Structure formats: structure tokens, C-alpha cells
Amino acid sequence: MPSTTFPTAARAQAVRTSRARDADRADLDLIPWLTRLAEPERTRVVADLRVVDVAPGELVCRVGKPVTYWFGVIDGLLKMSNDSAGASGGIPITFTGVPPGGWFGEGTVLKGESYRYNIQALRKSVVAGIPAATFHWLLDRSIGFNRFVMNQLNERLGQFIAAREIDRLTQPDARVARSLAALFHPVLYPGVGEVLRITQQELGYLVGLSRQRVNEALTALQAAGAIRVEYGGVRVLDLERLRAWRV
């Protein structure tokens, strides 16, 4: 992604806080874990929830910043990476994309530590969050919420094990296939459904390939009947085939 000049972490947080609003009914309907809460728990969460529109390129979380919220994507597409590593001599790595329905950073909130990754918007996005204190309050009271978080952590572990395997793939078609399959994860990203709204350039940012090479890979995957490229996105036709794609 082209380099972008960002405001300081404190200033960026202040700007987002000033833009934040209460969640409306449409937002609440897109938060998958709310239905697991008892009415008193849900009442507090709805009161504490904040929603903000995030511009393309804007950081939601920054490496080294103390955790204050647990975040989720209502709409749009985010990228989890260590982009700042390049400036210090390390290798920039994109860990995953975060499409609609995805909630992230529960491990960081649980440990109360600073972020070890950046979360950046690849397109205009709508992000929701609850304060870390509310997250821990729910853990102390809600069996349904605990089960959701435990399942998130378990699925996340599998996701990052798969990501390590994808990093070792040198065949572009396989990288694109496996990366697409990860974004169609029904547990971590229930808001995606059968169609992922993503451009070839955005997919290229996530898999580390040029837009042209991503186009070639999508053409091959479509010819094989695994996906169908539609206007503004990709429809999965055979998820298991994408997950197991080989050269």
C-alpha cells in the first residue's frame, strides 16, 4: 500500500472519539454476540457501545498503543499487520484481513497489554467497540459471552496456523485461494455470507501480490468453479476447494 502520513496515536484517538456515535438498530443487528447476552447485560453493552466511521488508510489500532476497546467491523474491510516493522528494519507482514462481522483483539484485551499489530482500514469502514472494562464485566457475568470469546480464540488459533502455511506458499493462485477462504470464515466473519465485497487491489494488499497477479489468480479460480467474480466482490462457490487449493 502506498505510504500514508498518519497523525500521532493520541491525536488520531481524539479525532475518532469526537466522531463516535451511539449504535443504532442496524448496527446492533450486525453484532453476532449480542444475542448471547441476557437482557441486563445487553442493556449495559448497548449503552457502552460506540460506533465510528473510519476513512481508508486510517488506523484503528497502532503498535504500542495501550488497549482501551474491543473492536468489531460493522461494514468495510480492515487489515491486521505489523507495517511499522519495515521502518525499524523488520519484515512487514500482513496477518489477516478483517471483513464485516469480525471482532478482534480479545487476546490483547484479556492481557491488558499494548497492541503488537496495526489495524488499518483498506476502505471506508464502520467500526464498533466496547470499552475494555465492559468486556471484562461481561466475562465476569455472562456464560454466553464467555463461550463466544473462547470459540473466537480457538478459531483464531486455527486461522493463524493456516496463515503461517499460506506465507510459505510460493504459487500465487494457491496464496489467493487460501487467503480468500480465510476471509469467508463463517465463525470469525459471519457478516460476509457468500459474497465478499473486495477489490482486486485490496486483495493484493492482503496477500502481498500485485493487482494484475491477483486478477490472473481469480481468473484461474473462477475457471475451476471455486469462485465467481462479481461486480465489486467475489462469490464463493466451493469453500472447501479454496481451503485445500493446491498447485
CA distance 63 to 93: 13
**63, 135: one domain:** yes
- The low-confidence residues of the chain, meaning pLDDT below 70, are 1-18, 83-92, 163, 166-169, 247
**129, 23: one domain:** yes
CA distance 230 to 241: 19
**57, 94: one domain:** yes
Residue 79 domain flag: yes
**90, 148: one domain:** yes
Give the CATH number for residue 68. Answer: 2.60.120.10
Give the CATH number for residue 212. Answer: 1.10.10.10
For the chain, the domain total comes to: 2
Residue 165 domain flag: no
Q: Which residues contact 45 (CB under 8 A, 6 or more apart)?
A: 34, 37, 130, 134, 138
pLDDT for 84 equals 53
pLDDT for 16 equals 54
Residue 4 domain flag: no
Residue 89 domain flag: yes
**The last residue of a domain, from among 158, 179, 212:** 158
**57, 138: one domain:** yes
Residue 163 domain flag: no
Q: Which DSSP string do the residues of 208-226 spell out, in sequence order?
A: T--HHHHHHHHHHHHHTTS
**150, 174: one domain:** no
**153, 201: one domain:** no
**49, 125: one domain:** yes
C-alpha cell at 69: 476497546
Helix (H, G, I), strand (E, B) or coil at 242: helix
> For the chain, where are the alpha helices, taking DSSP H only?
9-19, 25-29, 39-48, 106-111, 132-141, 143-167, 172-183, 200-207, 211-223, 239-243
pLDDT for 156 equals 85
pLDDT in tens, 24-67: 999 999 999 999 999 999 999 999 999 999 999 999 999 999 99
**65, 179: one domain:** no
pLDDT for 169 equals 65
Residue 47 domain flag: yes
**129, 34: one domain:** yes
**134, 31: one domain:** yes
pTM score > 0.75 for this model?
A: yes
pLDDT for 86 equals 43
pLDDT for 158 equals 81
Q: In terms of residue numbers, what domain contains 229?
A: 170-243
**54, 138: one domain:** yes
**The last residue of a domain, from among 121, 136, 158:** 158
Residue 3 domain flag: no
Residue 164 domain flag: no
